[in-house]
Structure 1
Amino acid sequence: MKLQNGDSVEQAGTALELSPNFDYGSRDVLDLEKTRLWPKVWQMACRVEQIPKVGDFVNYQIFDESILVTRTAPDRIQAFYNACQHRGRRLQMAESGHVSRWYCPFHGWRYQLDGAIEYVHDEHDWEGCPLKHEALSLKEVRAELWGGWVWINQDPDCEPLHAYLDAVKPVLDPFEWEDGRMAWHETIIAPVNWKVVIEAFNENYHVSATHVGGWRIPPGHSRGVVHGRHAMFFNQRNRVASTSKPLRFQDRHTGEWMTPSTPAEAIWCYNRHVFDNLAALTAEPLMKAAERLKEEAGADFPPERLLPRLMELHKEEFAKRGIKWPERLDQAAIDRAGTDWHIFPNTIMLPTADSALWYRVRPNGHDPESCIFDIWSFARYAPGTEPAVTRHVSDGFDAFRGRNPFLEEDFDNMQAVNLGRKSRGFLGPQLNPVQEVQIAHFHKMLSRYFNGDTSSPG
């Protein structure tokens, strides 16, 4: 079966054929990723607001590569390989910082912020074989902006970022997450292969069995859709208020269970659970709007008016706080965005009007059983009220426990999958042909890159 851009498995109307390589621990696969995947794809390196001043930099690392993402002028951001052109010494070992120029402490060579060579110690020694200054500049890496992120690509011949994201941008641009700011940032050095993490957050099929703490919601149903290199899914449970089946929620603070008596109360309970246990997707403005909806919308409130009224209240709460509502973000745009997007290869993004949950996963050096797993929650703030966020790093899933009850339920699965996939008794995945098409597509894209085809499937 071949999926066209925007096709779901249901639209294609045929059985899902799977041929992914699940030998995650193979050194051959690791070598293919190192040489044919990571140097050829666009990756999120840092947020634009992390480098606000000229000379600010972030040191992004992937395998053996260290890339300095730097603001070189008020309106320009560049990226350079972190290697002095004299003997290859890394210019910066810090994860981030500020410089007025690049300086190599080994022999004192200096470079301007834009990478041009500025000073070679005892350059007169090269008198018989003069140095060509234009060849001594720091080697540049492609850097472009989208969604408030600086993206980098090591392939000088790669297609522009806007083309790489051509199936993603029209859907997610209305959210204007370039205006969002970090609410929190967690990094986990996870003892699993990076692909295990991507797959765990790339489908909704697991939710009714995995996320059982504190709520009892009838199982939802999701539908996967392929968009070029990327994929996403829609979750029908987003319409939680429209279900006729009983819903139950547990108050995290009191431990008491309750059954909502109205659809508006169900919306409030759902958002309260997410607000308390995930601390993302529902932020304080939406929580307040849901509370107001619960108070004003009784059992006889027209069901078709629930979501429009919630958005009206949500906008009012933004206005009270001096927060700008994205101009193009209406209910149709929110519905079109669905629940979850996988931006190939290593980014997962869940957008809402209030907040966004963003994941980035990459190999941890050359160990196929370890990865660097970044989790951000973004929210919208009035100018000048953004919180100061300090990244918290956990060495393993156990070290993370107690920080986010919702995510911890996912982490238990990841460790068990990373072990179980190695069993002689596991003959390969039997993916749901409607709800897990994203995972099959992910591996098909990996296979394309491994075979040297970096183009987007037509």
Structure 2
Amino acid sequence: MADHDPRELQRQLADISKQPEPELRGTPITPERYFSKDYMDREWDKIWTRTWQIAGLSRELVKKGDYITTSLGPEKILCTRGEDDKIRAFYNVCQHRGMQLMEQASGNTRRLTCPYHGWAYDLAGTLKFVPDEADYPQGSPCGKLNLVEIPCEEWAGFVWYNMDEKCGSLKSYLGPIADQIDSYPMEKMTRTHWVTIEGDFNWKLVQDNFSESYHVPFVHPGSVYVLEYSHQHCQFDHYPEGHCRMFMPGAGPARVIKGGEKQTLEIMAEELKRWELDPDDYRGGKIRNLRADLQRQKRKLGEEKGYDFSTYHDDQLTDNWHYTIFPNLSFSLKPDGNIWLRARPHETDPEKCYFDMWFMTLFPKDATEYYSLIMREFVSIDTPAEHVQGKAGEVSAGPAIDEDLAIWPLQQRGLHSRGYKRDYLAGQESRMRYFHETLEDWLAR
């Protein structure tokens, strides 16, 4: 990746104006969509093969010959950086007899060589060599049976692909939220945690969960001391492209909490130390002053401590900006990082999915170690994130996300009950309803 990202010159303050409320149809979110194989098949045809998805990080494809592989449902995707320095995406399958071409998750190679019969493609996907080339009665396949390329773009430090050859640009797909997310230096963040969990729940339960804050005090009781969850004090927005956002004030207890200063100061001890604030100044009923004081202190000391906060609103210095990108991505943005969340469909079973969590840490300039408030541990910029994979309950996605993971299998089982007929949503769950109505619109196309 280039040392100087051209988007640096375009980075600006995000538009935080309240968006008009959409007209929602209120059609039933019936339970069978979470376990019907027919519904799963329709989603594959109309959703997964037509939406922009993330293959990996741009920094994984720095040198010519670097490649990464990824999966989505039954499909395998291969991304390469070519000799012309262009990143491309292909279906990861040899054109000879359907063998998966590259087996490793990542690597560097001069040619993409099939492990079965040795057909070799260059980094642009052109077939260059086959053993016994003269033995093909229909003529040499070289230069003719090339890899099938699909649309691929880079944005925000990620490599994106789309299996729809007629898709619009990534920028048009994301709409105005792209400029908002660009106010964070995403491409400078380091992936310090990388977890993939195979869960016994449908992928839509994940997106439902990250589309509302109604569950926070019950599923995340500790979070209420550092996060505002009440819909009365948060901002919810819907965009015509099907994406949504939620602004949640941080650095203090939710307004409904009486007191809470002890818990808030314990959780934020390292944060206060870093920004040279004295916890004693917030005892005795003064905890409500902390959020504004921390914003002022970060603005005052940010450059000295290795940060450029010039494109942040003051609220971004303390608050959680949460974006859900249709159909299956969530960006939970913090002033010093991003909890990147994704649910991918299982290959065959609608009652299973793969859940990915990356924590992207924004290290201060020249820092090699950093305390992550969200992950509650120190992380190192010199240690690449190990890809931890396993079943739900066997591996951890961090203290907060583990609490969500404990809920989804129980809900999946409950959706089968003869006693449950349909949803009955509160107004603050409009983002969840908007997600399902967007899903229905795509399925109807």
Give the TM bin, normalised by the shorter chain.
0.7 to 0.9
Alpha-carbon deviation of 1:393? Answer: 3.0
Structure 1 position 329 matched with structure 2 position 294 = no
Structure 1 position 43 matched with structure 2 position 53 = yes
- Secondary structure of the residue aligned to 1:310 is helix
Measured in 1, the distance between the counterparts of 2:83 and 2:185 equals 24
Counterpart residue number, 1:280 = none
Residue in structure 2 matching 1:94, options 96, 104, 113: 104
Structure 1 position 205 matched with structure 2 position 188 = no
Counterpart residue number, 1:224 = 236
Alpha-carbon deviation of 1:294? Answer: 3.5
Alpha-carbon deviation of 1:184? Answer: 1.3
Aligned partners of 2:213 and 2:229 also within 8 Å = no
* Alignment root-mean-square deviation, CA: 3.2
- Secondary structure of the residue aligned to 2:179 is helix
Structure-2 change in CA distance of 1:36 and 1:204 (3 Å): same
Measured in 1, the distance between the counterparts of 2:402 and 2:339 equals 15
Counterpart residue number, 1:111 = 121
Counterpart residue number, 2:376 = none
Alpha-carbon deviation of 1:288? Answer: 3.3
Aligned partners of 1:81 and 1:141 also within 8 Å = yes
Residue in structure 2 matching 1:367, options 335, 349, 355: 349
Return the TM-score normalized by structure 1: 0.80
CA displacement 1:6-64 (0-9 Å, x = unmatched): 645xx46x786233343111111111112111110001110111222221211111122
| Total equivalences in the alignment | 411
Residue in structure 1 matching 2:130, options 120, 128, 135: 120
Structure-2 change in CA distance of 1:247 and 1:269 (3 Å): farther
Residue pairs, 1:424-443, within 5 angstroms: 424-433=418-427, 435-443=428-436
Structure-2 change in CA distance of 1:347 and 1:341 (3 Å): same
Counterpart residue number, 2:277 = 292
Measured in 1, the distance between the counterparts of 2:187 and 2:127 equals 33
Structure 1 position 449 matched with structure 2 position 438 = no
Counterpart residue number, 1:247 = 259
CA displacement 1:232-276 (0-9 Å, x = unmatched): 2233x5373694852336xxxxxxxx36xxxxxx5x44535xxxx
Unaligned runs of 5+ in 2: 1-16, 369-380
Counterpart residue number, 2:5 = none
Unaligned runs of 5+ in 1: 250-257, 260-265, 273-283, 453-458
Alpha-carbon deviation of 1:121? Answer: 2.3
Structure-2 change in CA distance of 1:383 and 1:407 (3 Å): same
Measured in 2, the distance between the counterparts of 1:172 and 1:219 equals 21
Structure-2 change in CA distance of 1:199 and 1:163 (3 Å): same
Structure-2 change in CA distance of 1:448 and 1:327 (3 Å): same
- Secondary structure of the residue aligned to 2:118 is coil
In structure 1, give the amino acid aligned to 2:106.
S
Counterpart residue number, 1:415 = 409
Aligned partners of 2:31 and 2:416 also within 8 Å = no
Alpha-carbon deviation of 1:327? Answer: 3.6
Residue in structure 1 matching 2:388, options 390, 393, 407: 393
Alpha-carbon deviation of 1:92? Answer: 1.2
Return the TM-score normalized by structure 2: 0.82
Aligned partners of 1:183 and 1:387 also within 8 Å = no
Aligned partners of 2:252 and 2:288 also within 8 Å = no
Residue pairs, 1:348-367, within 5 angstroms: 348-367=330-349
Measured in 2, the distance between the counterparts of 1:232 and 1:287 equals 28
Alpha-carbon deviation of 1:340? Answer: 1.3
Measured in 2, the distance between the counterparts of 1:54 and 1:166 equals 31
Structure-2 change in CA distance of 1:156 and 1:21 (3 Å): farther
Measured in 1, the distance between the counterparts of 2:178 and 2:399 equals 32
Identity %: 27
CA displacement 1:108-159 (0-9 Å, x = unmatched): 2211111112112222234x64346543221112111111110110111101
Alpha-carbon deviation of 1:181? Answer: 0.8
Measured in 2, the distance between the counterparts of 1:50 and 1:312 equals 36
- Secondary structure of the residue aligned to 1:188 is strand
Aligned partners of 2:295 and 2:317 also within 8 Å = no
